[in-house]
Structure 1
Amino acid sequence: MGKALSQNSLAGSSQGIKMKKELGLIDGVAIIVGIIIGAGIFVSPKGVLRYSGSIGQAIIVWILSGLLSMIGALCYAELGTMIPKSGGDYAYISEAFGPLPAFLYLWVALFILVPTGNAITAITFAQYILQPLWPACDPPYEAVRLIAAVTTCFLTVINCYNVKWVTRVQDVFTATKIFALLLIVAAGIYYLSTGHTQHLQNPMEGTQTEPGYIALAFYSGLFSYSGWNYLNYVTEELKDPYRNLPRAICISMPLVTIIYVITNVAYFVVLSRAEILESQAVAVTFGDKMLGTFSFLMPFFVACSTFGSLNGAIFASSRLFFVGARQGHLPQAIALIDIKRLTPVPSLIFMCIITLALVVIEDVYVLINYVSFVEALFIMISVTGLLWMRRSRPNAERPIKVNIALPVIFFIICAFLVTFPCYVSLLEVGIASVFVLCGIPVFYVTIGWKSKPIWLQRCFDNFNKSCAKLFVCVPEETID
């Protein structure tokens, strides 16, 4: 994309105005690792421990969350190479079950999954970057939200301007965040080697056995792994996707799982169960205890981690809304591309606006349960689509074909995660379910209603034209 118009005239081009394949294998790995390792590993340890009840079970949840994510990633590798379209779950659900279920995914992704996840990441970034200024207490609410909003806008501008800038930012901050986690691991190993094993004694004490609470513990764990399917959103921009998509997944997921498990062991070695549950920023509490005068490094590195994660999430998820608009499930203005830089500017700005509306939210852990329920539901639907297409389209080209046991296992576990939290987290699950169902009448009014009044259709057309003029954008097309 950065080369857009290096052939500065689109006239006569056989490719015309469309997003280009500029992402290689290293970029793909950086996107996956960069998105996954973000706010989650610095927020979720407290939630996993709270619902697990014991250190031992919390570690088990982290390991199984990584394993489940790897199984899901392998299933998505089959889906991504069978259906090499940007849009991820939206494209797969659309191919398997048609427009209504695909629209419902787009509906919840637009208003719940993407902006809420981005808001949590932006808030976490702001909390950690401001923490050194308020070492004895939490930073002021207003300051955190202001920094979160400014950061979201800044990264949106970068994504609008140049994709090469996005990937460079992603590569740099991916390396930074891995260094931050390695610092935690090294400090934990040192602390353990000096004989501090008291926090690891009786690791299963207090273990929670209720299925609903176990599912909520997995919600917090899986939230930290969120993003393993984001590379599927940008398949059309990936060089040689049949080869590079599965390779990027197979490199990224084991790396992230190992880092996460060892990082949590380091947390549990240094901090007691009570210290973790009382902490508002686990990594900062860890740094204060282990790094002494260099404790300021921890909030800085965590801020770098979440900054890179937010950058990657903005890049990948904007393509989801771009594809949805291109299919007619969102206003056509969102499917426009900047004529000079070939980036989906209206999609990026639209998502930024919704994210800014959500940064005012305070209770991060309720949000995590809320988002994770919806995400588990639609990932389950996507994998159900994989199983369905094995039967309905048996002869479709599948450059990667996983053993049937993997999607079956994944479906069963997702069904558990969707079902059992209902009686222990009724409010969040109920609100999410109602919001999903509200998408059905919206679909039939905005898309299913083919004979709209002329005045209403003109309003839509005028809105699309105004956006095209304002952002100097045009629809993606091929010019003969």
Structure 2
Amino acid sequence: MQDRPTKQQHEGPIVLKRSITLLNGISIIVGSIIGSGVFVSPGGVLQYAGSPWAAIVVWTVSGVLCTVGALCFSELGTILPASGGEYTYVLHAFGDLPAFTTLWVNVVLVRPAAQCVVALACAEYSLALAFPHCPPPRLAVALLAALVLGVLTAVNCHSVQWAMRVQMIFTAAKLLALFIITIMGFYVLVTERGGHLRDTSVTAQPEADWQGLAIAFYAGLFAYGGWNYLNFVTEELKDPHRNLPLAIWVGLPMVTMVYVCVNVAYLVVLPADVLISSSAVAVEFGSRVLGPLRFVVPVFVALSTFGSLNGILFTSGRLFLAAAREGHMPAVLSFIDIKARTPKPALITSFLISLALLGLDIMALINCLSFALWLSIGAATAALLRLRYTHPLLHRPIKVPIVLPLVFLACCAYLVIVPLITDPTSTGLGMLFTLSALPVYYLGKACKNNKNAQRFSYDASVLLQKILTVVRPENPTEDSLRLLEQ
């Protein structure tokens, strides 16, 4: 009943269009990864790594590790070419309950919290010019963050092409900012014969033991967050068998090289104690090197976070859509706009959850769930190994050497187990939240069998279809996914 008007009025199937090009894919990877982290707090890596050169090694190894993970995900993305990322992979390898647990952690808190963090950073740096000598009012920051979230949600609802233009423009802007920082840093490196890179005063930091090194890698890997976001939009990527791995091979090494060069520039210009204590490293860098042009740093950080937020919002909507299509979220969240072919209900829901979290201590929540993020990524990597065993004859356009997922899975296990030892309180809270997916899962199953709940869901879906002009799309990847069930 709900689909009939669409088929009469529009030619062809109603599906998400394959409109994301290779260049768009690279900008999603680069633009989503480079947010506020590299501008604001690389001091954490230095503090726990113990020395400038150890910090550079951490940044480099973190980039290599994320590249290995992305290559593993490229195999998954080509054999399961549907939106949803690790949720989709865990679903088809391990079944409903593990997939729903992965979904619960991501869509209820982690994704909206990440969107809040980036939106607040964008708002704070945007207001820095108006409040040069004091922090901007918290209410003003929250209101501007809500406005930024709303504008980008509207852009993503309106058009995939508009969202990709925003992504590419702001990715170019942040790369320009990082290029300026790198050039100025290397100028100081040459003219001052190494600058503060020769300092060894931080080598005696008490945090620089094996536990401290794990925390340093956490900080480094957090800055690389977003390396797997292209897998959430594989369904809309043109020629994914070619463009998915190619975007990874271009995007991840580019980000790694940029991060290493920028951190060398920081270490050259700033003393170790200043870099460790500062919560706005790029601003401190600009005040020492750029002189009267130091005001451009807050502008560049605001542009960077704006582009990063656009990438997170774009991919979050596809995660909601994939989950709803599999029956793990209300069906209306899988609907797409008739003309724009964008997942409008999913994007609006993601925006509303983020809005509700703006007043909370988001950073504390993210710290509690850091281990859960790597647990879900590790589960997706384990899904790759399981599918290799259960479906050895499945066509794999990309097949990475088996050693890569094994090494990456071991690293994920390390990043999950170490917090259990070093920070049992935060990890315990994160574990409790992850386990809270169980009662929600079984409550949802009970509602599916309840006639009143079914009727309410149907009526709500019809109402939202009329208001938002959306319909249930066809699933172009249904046939290939069905092969995994045989």
TM-score band, normalised by shorter chain? over 0.9
> What corresponds to 2:329 in structure 1?
330
What TM-score, normalized by structure 2, do the two folds share? 0.92
Aligned to 1:35: 32
Are 1:370 and 1:432, in contact at CA under 8 Å, matched by a contact in 2? yes
Q: CA deviation at 1:202?
A: 1.8
1:321 alignment partner AA? F
Moved more, 354-363 or 409-418: 354-363
Q: Tell me the secondary structure at the aligned position of residue 11 of structure 1.
A: helix
When the two structures are aligned, how many residues end up with a matched partner?
470
CA contact (8 A) 1:370 1:429 kept: yes
Whether the 8 Å contact between 1:212 and 1:421 is mirrored in structure 2 is: no
Alignment match, 2:178:
181
Partner letter of residue 171 of structure 2?
T
Which stretch of structure 1 is more off in the superposition, 63-72 or 216-225?
A: 216-225
Asked whether the 8 Å contact 1:29–1:248 carries over to 2, the reply is yes
Correspondence for 2:77? 80
Residue 159 (1) aligns with residue 156 (2): yes
Instruction: Answer with 200-209 or 423-432: which moved more.
Output: 200-209
Task: Say which SS state the counterpart of residue 460 (structure 2) adopts.
Answer: helix
8 Å CA contact retained: 1:125, 1:306:
yes
CA gap 1:322/1:117 in 2 versus in 1, 3 angstroms: same
Cα distance, 1:94–1:451 mapped onto 2, change above 3 Å: closer
Deviation at 1:10, TM superposition (A): 5.3
Query: What TM-score do the two structures reach when normalised by structure 1?
Result: 0.93
Residues 31-54 of structure 1 show CA distances to partners (whole Å, capped at 9, x for unaligned) of 111111112212341332333343
The CA deviation at 1:457 is 2.2
Query: 2:92 corresponds to which letter in structure 1?
Result: E
**Residue 303 (1) aligns with residue 302 (2):** yes
CA distance in 1, matches of 2:77, 2:387: 13
Q: Confirm or deny: 8 A CA contact 2:62 2:217 kept in the other structure.
A: yes
Indicate the residue corresponding to 2:244 in structure 1: 245
- For 1:5, the equivalent position in structure 2 comes to none
Aligned equivalents of 2:28 and 2:455: distance in 1? 40
CA contact (8 A) 2:67 2:253 kept: yes
Unaligned regions of 5+ residues in structure 2, if any?
A: 477-486
After the TM superposition, list the runs of 4 or more consecutive aligned residues in structure 1 that deviate by more than 6 angstroms.
Answer: none
Letter in 2 for 1:175: A
Matches within 5 A, 1:121-270: 121-195=118-192, 197-202=195-200, 205-206=203-204, 208-270=207-269
Counterpart for residue 104 of structure 2: 107
Whichever residue aligns with residue 86 of structure 1, its letter is: S
State how far apart, in whole Å, the 2-side matches of 1:37 and 1:205 are.
Answer: 28
Name the SS of the counterpart of 2:46 in structure 1: helix
- 1:306 CA drift (Å): 0.8
Take 1:35 and 1:450, find their aligned partners in 2: how far apart are those partners?
36
Q: What CA distance in whole angstroms lies between the structure 1 residues aligned with 2:311 and 2:448?
A: 40
**Structure 1 counterpart of 2:53:** 56
Q: Deviations over 1:323-348 (max 9, x none)?
A: 11011000011111112221111100
**Partner of residue 439, structure 1:** 437
Asked if residue 283 in structure 1 is aligned to residue 245 in structure 2, the reply is no
Deviations 1:257-313 (A, max 9, x none): 000011111111111222123222111111111111100111111111110111111
Cα contact 1:14–1:478 (8 A) shared by 2: no
Contact kept, 8 Å, 2:335 with 2:344, in 1: the verdict is: yes
Candidates 395, 409, 415, aligned match of 1:397: 395
CA spacing shift, 1:351–1:450, aligned 2, 3 Å: closer
Query: Mind listing any 5+ residue stretches in structure 1 that lack a counterpart?
Result: 1-7
Per-residue CA deviation, residues 156-177 of structure 1 (Å, 9 max, x unaligned), is: 0000111111111111111100
Mapped pair 1:407 → 2:401: no
Tell me whether 335-344 or 258-267 shows the greater mean CA deviation: 335-344
Counterpart of 1:180 in 2: which secondary structure?
Answer: helix
Write the letter of the residue equivalent to 1:176: A
SS at match of 1:441: helix
In 2, Cα distance between equivalents of 1:399 and 1:204? 48
CA distance in 1, matches of 2:113, 2:374: 15
Mapped partners of 1:9, 1:329: distance in 2: 25
2-structure distance, mates of 1:478, 1:134 = 50
In 1, are the aligned partners of 2:6 and 2:471 still within 8 Å (CA)?
A: no
d(CA) in 2 for partners of 1:317, 1:42: 24
Matching residue within 469, 476, 482 for 1:472: 469
Range moving further from structure 2, 421-430 or 158-167: 421-430
Q: Deviation string for 1:382-408 (max 9, x for gaps)?
A: 101111111111111111111111111
Is contact 1:219–1:368 with CA below 8 Å preserved after alignment? no
Q: Is the 8 A contact 1:38 1:309 kept in 2?
A: yes
Q: Could you say what secondary structure the match of 2:341 adopts?
A: coil
Conservation of the 8 A alpha-carbon contact between 1:35 and 1:310: yes
